[in-house]
Structure 1
């Protein structure tokens, strides 16, 4: 079974990393770096897949906000916790917002749509988004590479195929649990902030 899974990772792993990075993507990027350390694919291939997915994903959300503002999907995003605060941030500090938005877990999809709604020039967004995506790709795929080195140090030798799969699964579960807890906390705080603002207003 582990051999079959490993062959699937070898054949379709980079595609999975790319698709995973179209949305939030931290887990996919880290796992891509982990498998790069294990020589399943090259580190530069991981970087390209992560960068391309992150860049195209945010660009698609930007286009959605800019050209499809009246659709039901975008209107639903407008009602999400954090929208008004994100809109103020992108209006006051557009460069910083585009460069840093992808690092706030749970806000990346909303952030791209907000950027599109804000009226930022497309060329400006593309340049800033490319810079942000490149730094993000290097950071998280590099983090996964370090995870791979750490796992190999703990086990003390080159990881076998089934060990790679098990370690990758453990990494994915830990990242998901942390991200879920952080996202819940951020959403709860934003709802409290918006409720306080509404009551005081």
Structure 2
């Protein structure tokens, strides 16, 4: 049932997730692609398009209403100096890199729009960032799936060893309790 849901709705989930933040959904989709439930290339493509669209939307929110948002949301305003400094020092790489900075995925484009970065520049470097980000994160999910499947036979051996160890510990604890009870009854 879960597998069918992933096959039916997985790409929609990737699009919705990548539009906003997306890392967790994209990691899971990469894992699902490794399991054969989704196509990895399609996952990466959907994520890149949705992430670009999402950040463009947040950019325009910042461009149109940024000053009011900064006044209304102090946490967003607190991020402004950090992103503005990045934009001054590395104007193009800041746009690409903000996608990879945890906690700035939505705030970053809003602040970039507020800072007055030209729309064409943001669109170009936002798309470059999405084209780097989507396959990287989906690839990490796929790689995790591969590593996990490679460990499955080893995990079965470890499980058996742990089961034996737990059994020995429980047996030892029962034996020690039994001996302590016998000593206590003899001393009375």
TM-score by length of 2: 0.75
The one of 83, 90, 93 equivalent to 1:96 is 93
CA distance in 2, matches of 1:148, 1:76: 43
Give the RMSD, CA atoms, in angstroms: 1.6
Map 1:152-163 → 2, pairs under 5 A: 152-156=149-153
Distance 1:77 1:55, change over 3 A: farther
Q: Which residue of 1 aligns with 2:123?
A: 126
Look up the SS of the partner of 1:22 in the other structure. helix
Q: Cα distance, 1:60 vs. partner?
A: 0.7
Does the CA-based 8 Å contact 2:66-2:111 persist in structure 1?
Answer: no
The one of 42, 53, 78 equivalent to 1:56 is 53
CA distance in 1, matches of 2:26, 2:45: 10
Residue 75 in structure 1 maps to residue 71 in structure 2: yes
Q: Which residue of 2 aligns with 1:34?
A: 31
Does the CA-based 8 Å contact 2:67-2:114 persist in structure 1?
Answer: no
TM-score by length of 1: 0.70
Q: Cα distance, 1:109 vs. partner?
A: 0.8
More helix as a share of residues:
2
Q: Cα distance, 1:93 vs. partner?
A: 2.4
Q: Which residue of 1 aligns with 2:179?
A: none
The total of aligned residue pairs comes to 152
CA distance in 1, matches of 2:67, 2:140: 39
1:118-167 deviation line (CA, Å, top 9, x unaligned) = 111111111101111010011100001101111111224xxxxxxxxxxx
